[in-house]
Every structure is written in structure tokens, then in C-alpha cells.
């Protein structure tokens, strides 16, 4: 029964949690680099000359001077915003790619763990090259760590929420005496 609950959690809540983590990172990078704001203000001047005119009528030299200053400010604005936008989009792309790799690895994790275990046993018995043995041991270590994280997460999520426990159940928790003594 435990194994069935674990696999149900692993393939439903685990995948859901991983997608949620990737989504939160995508939101974070989008907001951290202000990609939406920078795209909407891409062709705005970096600093626009909005000083009121001190002359009456059309003064061509002063008008062209103000116009050229504003065009130069637009160029600087684009020049400053584009690298930030590109950097943010690179972070977004890397997050998406790592998320897809993590999702694939998460889905295939039980199979990868079992396959890497058999591969290490086979390579040890066959006395094959050191490179193959090291890579298979490394794969076994990574899959073991991911499996351990998965199982620990499953155990922690199996605990009952303290808000839904009565006082007798709360008193059995290891942290209860520390909290109760402060009240």
C-alpha cells in the first residue's frame, strides 16, 4: 500500500509541485528583470527634455536642438533596455529548459535508479573501463539523491497539518514541548 501511495504522490503531486516551482521561477525572472515594463517602454527616451520653452513662436534652432536631444535619449533608452531584456529572456529560456529536463528526469527517476543500479553491478563484474564505471556510479549517486529527496518529501507531506490536529495529537509532536513552554 505504501509503494502505491508513494508512486501516486510521485507522479501526481510531485510533478505538480515541480511545475509550480518552474512557474514561480519564470514569474520571478520576468518581474526581476522587468521584461514586460521594459518592452512596453523600449522606445521611450531615457531622459526626455520636457523643459518649457522660454521663447515665443517657432524657433527652428532651439526646436531642432530639443528634438535631437530627445532622439538621442530614445537611442540611449533602447541601448540600455535591450541588454536587460535579452538577459532576462535568457534566464527565462534556461529556466524552461532546466524545468523540462527536471520534469523528464522526475518522471523517469524510478527507472533510472533501477537501471543505474544494474549498470553499476554489471560494470563492476565485467571489469570494464574506469570511465564507464565512474559515469555509471555518478548516475547512480544522482538518481539516489533525487530518490531520497522524493521519498523525504513524500514522508513530510504525509504528516497531518497541525491546524487540523487536536491537543492530544499535538502533544505527541517533538516540537510541542518547546512551543507549549513559551505560552
Lowest mean pLDDT among 18-22, 132-136, 171-175: 132-136
Sign of the alpha-carbon dihedral angle for 141, 144, 146, 148 = negative
Q: C-alpha cell of 25?
A: 521561477
C-alpha cell at 182: 513559551
Model confidence pLDDT, tens digit, residues 77-119: 899 999 999 999 999 999 999 999 999 988 888 887 788 777 7
The yes-or-no verdict on residue 139 having pLDDT over 90 is no
Phi-psi region of 55 (alpha: psi -120 to 50; beta: other; left: phi over 0): beta
User: In terms of pTM, does the model score above 0.75?
Assistant: no
Amino acid at each position: 500500500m505504501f509503494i502505491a501511495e508513494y508512486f501516486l504522490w510521485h507522479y501526481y503531486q510531485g510533478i505538480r509541485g515541480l511545475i509550480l516551482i518552474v512557474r514561480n521561477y519564470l514569474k520571478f525572472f520576468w518581474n526581476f528583470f522587468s521584461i514586460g515594463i521594459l518592452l512596453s517602454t523600449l522606445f521611450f527616451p531615457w531622459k526626455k527634455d520636457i523643459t518649457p520653452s522660454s521663447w515665443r513662436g517657432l524657433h527652428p534652432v532651439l526646436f531642432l536642438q530639443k528634438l535631437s536631444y530627445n532622439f538621442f535619449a530614445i537611442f540611449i533608452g533602447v541601448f540600455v533596455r535591450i541588454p536587460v531584456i535579452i538577459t532576462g529572456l535568457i534566464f527565462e529560456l534556461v529556466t524552461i529548459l532546466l524545468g523540462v529536463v527536471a520534469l523528464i528526469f522526475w518522471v523517469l527517476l524510478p527507472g533510472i535508479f533501477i537501471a543505474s543500479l544494474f549498470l553499476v553491478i554489471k560494470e563492476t563484474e565485467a571489469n570494464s573501463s574506469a570511465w564507464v564505471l565512474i559515469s555509471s556510479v555518478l548516475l547512480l549517486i544522482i538518481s539516489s539523491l533525487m530518490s531520497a529527496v522524493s521519498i523525504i518529501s513524500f514522508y513530510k507531506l504525509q504528516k497531518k497539518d497541525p491546524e487540523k490536529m487536536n491537543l492530544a495529537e499535538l502533544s505527541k509532536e517533538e516540537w510541542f514541548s518547546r512551543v507549549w513552554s513559551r505560552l
